[in-house]
Every structure is written in structure tokens, then in C-alpha cells.
């Protein structure tokens, strides 16, 4: 009877170990897939306009947010305003230098950016002053 009980315990331990490894592997594959989905770039491009707002904001994650009044628009409306997030502090510092001026922002549009990347899905990684 004891031999049978030991055999059952050993089998249960093997099944538990195998199940744990399967769950762990599934979690890793799901996490990697989710990360790549959230950071996948839909489009890349540039937009030009007058940079009229750049700020650091957030409660938990401090992100760098800005607004651009698109070139060619006479009036400032919601359709002529482009909201974006700056990639990092270096881009934010560059944007601060150009506030109130005509700039060209190079961006990547993500499927759905993580909260620490910004409030928008448009991530500006480079900015140039337009002469």
C-alpha cells in the first residue's frame, strides 16, 4: 500500500511540474506577443506646423506631451491641432527650444503605446526647425 501511495505522489509531482512549466512558457510567449503588438509601428512620417505647447505631465508615469498647429491651417481648431508624445527627455528638451516656432516633427505611430510612452500613439523621435 505504501509503495502505491509513493508512486501516486511521484506521478502527481511530475504532473504538477509539467503543468507549471507549460503555464510559465505560455505566459512568456503571451507576454512577448503582447509587448510586440503594443509597440508595433503602424506608420512613420513627419508633420510640420507651429509648436504651441510642450509639457511634462502624468500622475504615475511622467510623459512629455505636445501640440502642433498644423501648417496650412488658418484657424486653430481641433482638426488643425495634432497631439503627440515625445520619445524621451532629450527630444523634449529639443522641443522646448522650438516652442512658438515652425517645426517639422518626425514620428512613429504605434498600435497602442504603453502608458509610460505617452498619452498618444504618435511618438516623436526627432524634431527640426523649419526655416
C-beta atoms surrounding 121 within 10 Å? 20
d(CA 63, CA 96): 14
Q: What are phi and psi of 72, to 5 degrees?
A: 95, -5
80-109, pLDDT tens digit by residue? 899 999 999 999 999 999 998 999 999 999
In what helix (H) or strand (E) does residue 106 lie, and over which residues does it extend? strand 102-110
CATH class of 41-129: mainly beta
> Where do runs of H (alpha helix) occur along the chain?
2-38, 89-97
pTM for the whole structure: 0.76
120 in Cβ contact with 83 (< 8 Å): yes
45-63, pLDDT tens digit by residue? 999 999 999 999 988 899 9
- Return the domain boundaries, the chain: 1-38, 41-129
Amino acid at each position: 500500500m505504501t509503495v502505491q501511495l509513493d508512486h501516486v505522489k511521484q506521478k502527481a509531482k511530475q504532473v504538477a511540474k509539467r503543468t507549471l512549466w507549460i503555464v510559465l512558457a505560455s505566459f512568456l510567449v503571451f507576454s512577448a506577443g503582447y509587448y510586440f503588438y503594443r509597440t508595433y509601428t503602424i506608420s512613420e512620417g513627419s508633420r510640420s506646423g507651429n509648436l504651441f505647447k510642450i509639457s511634462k505631465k502624468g500622475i504615475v508615469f511622467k510623459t512629455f506631451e505636445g501640440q502642433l498647429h498644423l501648417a496650412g491651417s488658418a484657424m486653430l481648431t481641433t482638426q488643425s491641432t495634432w497631439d503627440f508624445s515625445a520619445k524621451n527627455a532629450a527630444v523634449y528638451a529639443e522641443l522646448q527650444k522650438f516652442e512658438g516656432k515652425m517645426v517639422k516633427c518626425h514620428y512613429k505611430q504605434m498600435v497602442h503605446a504603453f502608458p509610460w510612452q505617452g498619452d498618444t500613439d504618435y511618438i516623436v523621435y526627432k524634431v527640426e526647425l523649419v526655416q
